[in-house]
Amino acid sequence: MNLRELEPGTADRELGATILAVEGVSLAFGGVKALTDVSFEVREGEIRAIIGPNGAGKSSMLNVINGVYRPHAGKISFRGETRTHMDPRHSAKLGIARTFQSLALFKGMSVLDNILAGRSLMMKSNLLLQALRLGPALREEIEHRKRVEEIIDFLEIPHVRKTPVGRLPYGLQKRVDLGRALAAEPRVLLLDEPMAGMNMEEKQDMSRFILDVNEEFGTTIVLIEHDMGVVMDLSDRVVVLDYGRKIADGTPEEVRASQAVIDAYLGVKH
């Protein structure tokens, strides 16, 4: 399923300027070091993968980027603004959206409402006007609904738009999660194992969506994934973490050839 090869001209793309950078980030939970002095940067418009064995600190890294965790050392720069830590609401305002490894959807709400909720930050009109569906509030609602319907069509889930998300099969829930993140029209999309637990067909669909998002909307994507095939196909550049340290950084080919990476994945004789 080499999707890159199916679409000529995308394999060697020009990368934009740095949009997101982490510098010397360290994070510990009690005595457990989750991240140690990790630095890397993400360029505008690229698909950047973070890989590594279990417990390497990949999810922690995403959580630092969108502000769920506060790193003990280091800096995060986003669109030219440098800070020591983020917070989830602020990072959402700046244009960082994310999906979750274990689904974190609003299970009782319909697909439509879940994705609409993704536009929370863009809802401007007054509460009373909204409740009564008056004037500007109605216009705003229609505009949001239009954008949400586009996302629903894009993700090919129009048939379930009114279904409570908790009742959907796993693969579709993952799409709703992506849809909710897309609804915020983010500059950077953080995807935490978007294909975990999927079968081959579902993985292909999801890969296609990710590539389309990247190409059609120009959204920069930071992606954690376990499936090596997927990572190598999708990403422009790859960061490899092991025990919370960065052990390699480069194009898929470079990373695949790196001895440190091979050792981390296959183990070394002592």
Partner 1 sequence: MEALRRPSTIAFFVLLAIAAVMPLALGQAKFPQWLEVALGGLLTGVLYSLVAIGLVLIFKASGVFNFAQGSMVLFAALTLVRLAEKMPLALAIVVTLLVMIALAWAIERWVLRPLVNQDGIVLFMATLGIAYFLDGFGQAVWGSDIYTLHVGMPKEPKIILESVFDGGVLVDMEDFVAAIIAAVLVAALTLFFQKTSTGRALRAVADDHQAAQSIGIPLNRIWVIVWSVAGLVALVAGIVWGSKLGVQFSLSQVALKALPVVILGGFTSIPGAIVGGLLIGLGEKLSEVYLGPFFGGGIEAWFAYVLALVFLLFRPEGLFGEKIIDRV
Q: Which one-letter amino acid corresponds to residue 33?
A: K
Measured from the CB atom, the residue of 107 and 159 that comes closer to partner 1 is 107
Rule CB under 8 A: say whether 164 interacts with partner 1: yes
Q: Does 146 bind partner 1 (CB under 8 A)?
A: no
Q: Does 132 bind partner 1 (CB under 8 A)?
A: yes
Total residues binding partner 1 (CB under 8 A): 36
Query: In terms of C-beta density within 10 A (0-12 exposed, 13-18 middle, 19 or more buried), how is residue 186 classed?
Result: buried
Beta carbon of residue 138, minimum distance to partner 1 (angstroms, whole number): 10
Q: Which residues of 90-113 are buried (b: 16+ CB within 10 A; e: fewer)?
A: ebbebbbbbbbbebebeeebbbbb
**Distance in Å, CB of 87 to partner 1, minimum:** 8
Subset of 39-98 contacting partner 1 (CB under 8 A): 66, 68, 88-89, 92-93, 97-98
Q: Phi and psi for 191 in degrees, rounded to 5?
A: -115, 115
Quickly tell me which residue has 């960061």 as its tokens.
Answer: 239
Interface with partner 1, residue 17, by CB under 8 A: no
For the CB of residue 103, give the shortest distance to partner 1 in the complex, in Å: 9
Q: How would you classify the pairing of strands 18-29 and 32-43? A: antiparallel
Q: Which is nearer to partner 1, 155 or 248 (CB)?
A: 155
- Is residue 104 a contact residue for partner 1 (CB under 8 A)? yes
The residues in 227-266 that bind partner 1, with binding defined as CB under 8 A, are none
Residues that bind partner 1 (CB under 8 A): 66, 68, 88-89, 92-93, 97-98, 100, 104-109, 113-114, 116-118, 120-121, 123, 127, 130-133, 164, 166-167, 170, 180-181, 183-184
